[in-house]
Amino acid sequence: MRSGIERLQDKLVERNTPKKKKKVSTLDIYFIMCVVVIISYTIVGIIFQAVTGQELSTSLTVGVYGFFGGEITLLAAIKKWKLKGERNERPDI
């Protein structure tokens, strides 16, 4: 049986050990970039229309939203499949 001092020492050692920072994955960075591009394009389009009185090209707008929307959808699918694969590899306890 361990004494109270030993348990206290173990807790202090655990508390003083440096904790690993969670690494941001490449998929998360790519997702953030996609969202930033969509928001930036929207803001630029609104400002452009307010200043000039003309809309941006409809085909350009559809292309930008379609491309980056598709990228976000694929990132979500990759993340889901990756998590599902990890869950199947773990033994159930």
At 57-69, the pLDDT tens digits run 999 999 999 999 9
Residue with the two structure tokens 């694929």: 74
Averaged pLDDT, 28-34? 93
DSSP 25: P
**10 Å Cβ neighbour count for 41?**
16
Q: Give the mean pLDDT of the chain.
A: 85
Say what the pLDDT of residue 58 is: 94
Under the banding of pLDDT at 50, 70 and 90, the label for residue 10 is confident
What's the rounded mean pLDDT across residues 7-28? 78
Report the alpha-carbon distance of residue 36 to residue 72 in Å, rounded.
12
Helices (H) and strands (E) in the chain, counts: 3, 0
**What is the distance between the alpha carbons of residues 8 and 48, in angstroms, rounded to a whole number?**
64
